[in-house]
Amino acid sequence: MTPNLVFSIMNDVSLVAWILLAVLPKQRWVASVLAAFVVPAFFAVAYIAIVVAQFGSSSGGFTSLPAVAMLFSNRWLLLAGWIHYLAFDLFVGSWEVRDARERGIPHLAVVPCLALTLMFGPAGWLLYNGVRLVFTKKEKAREAAAPPSA
Protein backbone atom coordinates (compact mmCIF):
# COMPACT_ATOMS: atom_id res chain seq x y z
CA MET A 1 0.00 0.00 0.00
CA THR A 2 1.38 3.39 -0.97
CA PRO A 3 1.00 6.73 0.82
CA ASN A 4 -1.01 7.97 -2.19
CA LEU A 5 -3.50 5.11 -1.91
CA VAL A 6 -3.90 5.58 1.84
CA PHE A 7 -4.33 9.32 1.25
CA SER A 8 -7.14 8.64 -1.23
CA ILE A 9 -8.88 6.20 1.10
CA MET A 10 -8.70 8.59 4.06
CA ASN A 11 -9.99 11.50 1.99
CA ASP A 12 -12.90 9.40 0.68
CA VAL A 13 -13.86 8.26 4.18
CA SER A 14 -13.64 11.84 5.43
CA LEU A 15 -15.73 13.20 2.56
CA VAL A 16 -18.50 10.66 3.18
CA ALA A 17 -18.64 11.62 6.85
CA TRP A 18 -18.73 15.36 6.00
CA ILE A 19 -21.51 14.84 3.45
CA LEU A 20 -23.53 12.89 6.01
CA LEU A 21 -23.04 15.70 8.55
CA ALA A 22 -24.33 18.22 6.04
CA VAL A 23 -27.32 16.27 4.68
CA LEU A 24 -28.51 14.21 7.67
CA PRO A 25 -28.55 16.69 10.57
CA LYS A 26 -31.49 15.02 12.31
CA GLN A 27 -29.82 11.61 12.40
CA ARG A 28 -28.13 11.78 15.79
CA TRP A 29 -25.89 8.78 15.04
CA VAL A 30 -24.15 10.76 12.29
CA ALA A 31 -22.89 13.63 14.48
CA SER A 32 -22.75 11.75 17.78
CA VAL A 33 -21.29 8.40 16.73
CA LEU A 34 -20.00 8.29 13.16
CA ALA A 35 -18.35 11.72 12.84
CA ALA A 36 -17.52 12.18 16.52
CA PHE A 37 -16.10 8.74 17.24
CA VAL A 38 -16.08 6.02 14.57
CA VAL A 39 -14.32 7.87 11.74
CA PRO A 40 -11.90 9.78 14.03
CA ALA A 41 -11.05 6.47 15.73
CA PHE A 42 -10.37 4.91 12.32
CA PHE A 43 -8.12 7.86 11.51
CA ALA A 44 -6.41 7.55 14.90
CA VAL A 45 -5.59 3.88 14.30
CA ALA A 46 -4.16 4.68 10.86
CA TYR A 47 -2.23 7.62 12.29
CA ILE A 48 -0.73 5.54 15.10
CA ALA A 49 0.18 2.71 12.72
CA ILE A 50 1.98 5.10 10.38
CA VAL A 51 3.82 6.95 13.15
CA VAL A 52 4.92 3.72 14.83
CA ALA A 53 6.05 2.21 11.52
CA GLN A 54 7.96 5.37 10.58
CA PHE A 55 9.33 6.26 14.01
CA GLY A 56 12.96 7.30 13.72
CA SER A 57 13.01 6.99 9.92
CA SER A 58 13.15 10.73 9.32
CA SER A 59 15.25 13.50 10.71
CA GLY A 60 13.48 16.60 11.79
CA GLY A 61 11.09 17.32 14.59
CA PHE A 62 8.80 19.95 16.07
CA THR A 63 11.33 22.46 17.40
CA SER A 64 11.32 24.81 14.39
CA LEU A 65 9.59 25.26 11.07
CA PRO A 66 12.60 23.90 9.14
CA ALA A 67 12.62 20.85 11.45
CA VAL A 68 8.92 20.24 10.76
CA ALA A 69 9.54 20.61 7.02
CA MET A 70 12.35 18.06 7.26
CA LEU A 71 10.13 15.68 9.25
CA PHE A 72 7.35 15.98 6.68
CA SER A 73 9.73 15.34 3.78
CA ASN A 74 8.96 11.69 4.60
CA ARG A 75 5.75 11.02 2.59
CA TRP A 76 4.38 8.65 5.24
CA LEU A 77 4.83 11.21 8.01
CA LEU A 78 3.30 13.88 5.80
CA LEU A 79 0.33 11.54 5.37
CA ALA A 80 0.14 11.07 9.15
CA GLY A 81 0.00 14.85 9.52
CA TRP A 82 -2.81 15.01 6.96
CA ILE A 83 -4.75 12.28 8.78
CA HIS A 84 -4.32 14.32 11.97
CA TYR A 85 -6.04 17.26 10.23
CA LEU A 86 -8.83 15.05 8.89
CA ALA A 87 -9.55 13.57 12.32
CA PHE A 88 -9.66 16.81 14.27
CA ASP A 89 -11.50 18.87 11.67
CA LEU A 90 -14.19 16.19 11.43
CA PHE A 91 -14.44 16.02 15.21
CA VAL A 92 -14.94 19.80 15.30
CA GLY A 93 -17.57 19.60 12.55
CA SER A 94 -19.47 16.94 14.48
CA TRP A 95 -19.39 19.18 17.56
CA GLU A 96 -20.76 22.08 15.52
CA VAL A 97 -23.74 19.99 14.38
CA ARG A 98 -24.44 18.62 17.87
CA ASP A 99 -24.08 22.02 19.52
CA ALA A 100 -26.30 23.70 16.92
CA ARG A 101 -28.98 21.04 17.39
CA GLU A 102 -28.92 21.54 21.19
CA ARG A 103 -29.18 25.32 20.79
CA GLY A 104 -31.88 25.24 18.09
CA ILE A 105 -29.63 26.88 15.49
CA PRO A 106 -31.02 26.18 12.01
CA HIS A 107 -28.92 23.63 10.16
CA LEU A 108 -28.76 25.83 7.06
CA ALA A 109 -26.81 28.35 9.16
CA VAL A 110 -24.35 25.60 10.12
CA VAL A 111 -23.68 24.21 6.62
CA PRO A 112 -21.36 27.08 5.57
CA CYS A 113 -19.48 26.60 8.85
CA LEU A 114 -19.08 22.91 8.06
CA ALA A 115 -17.73 23.67 4.60
CA LEU A 116 -15.24 26.14 6.03
CA THR A 117 -14.25 23.75 8.83
CA LEU A 118 -13.64 21.01 6.25
CA MET A 119 -11.42 23.24 4.13
CA PHE A 120 -9.88 25.62 6.68
CA GLY A 121 -10.49 24.08 10.14
CA PRO A 122 -9.97 26.98 12.56
CA ALA A 123 -11.73 29.48 10.27
CA GLY A 124 -14.83 27.26 10.17
CA TRP A 125 -14.77 26.85 13.94
CA LEU A 126 -14.54 30.64 14.31
CA LEU A 127 -17.42 31.20 11.89
CA TYR A 128 -19.55 28.67 13.76
CA ASN A 129 -18.87 30.45 17.03
CA GLY A 130 -19.99 33.71 15.41
CA VAL A 131 -23.18 32.04 14.16
CA ARG A 132 -23.68 30.56 17.61
CA LEU A 133 -23.30 33.98 19.23
CA VAL A 134 -25.79 35.60 16.84
CA PHE A 135 -28.44 32.92 17.39
CA THR A 136 -27.87 32.86 21.15
CA LYS A 137 -28.43 36.64 21.31
CA LYS A 138 -31.58 36.34 19.17
CA GLU A 139 -32.93 33.62 21.45
CA LYS A 140 -32.22 35.66 24.58
CA ALA A 141 -33.93 38.69 23.01
CA ARG A 142 -37.00 36.57 22.18
CA GLU A 143 -37.11 35.20 25.73
CA ALA A 144 -36.85 38.69 27.20
CA ALA A 145 -39.69 39.96 24.96
CA ALA A 146 -42.01 37.05 25.70
CA PRO A 147 -44.75 37.61 28.27
CA PRO A 148 -44.17 35.79 31.55
CA SER A 149 -45.93 32.47 31.84
CA ALA A 150 -48.32 31.81 34.70
Q: What is the mean pLDDT of each run of 10 residues along the chain (150 residues)?
A: 96 98 94 96 97 90 94 95 97 97 96 98 98 88 71
State how far the Cα of 85 lies from the Cα of 64, in Å rounded to an integer: 19
Give me the pLDDT at residue 149, please.
67
pTM exceeds cut of 0.85: yes
What is the C-alpha to C-alpha distance for residues 28 and 14, in angstroms, rounded to an integer?
A: 18
CA distance 93 to 70: 30
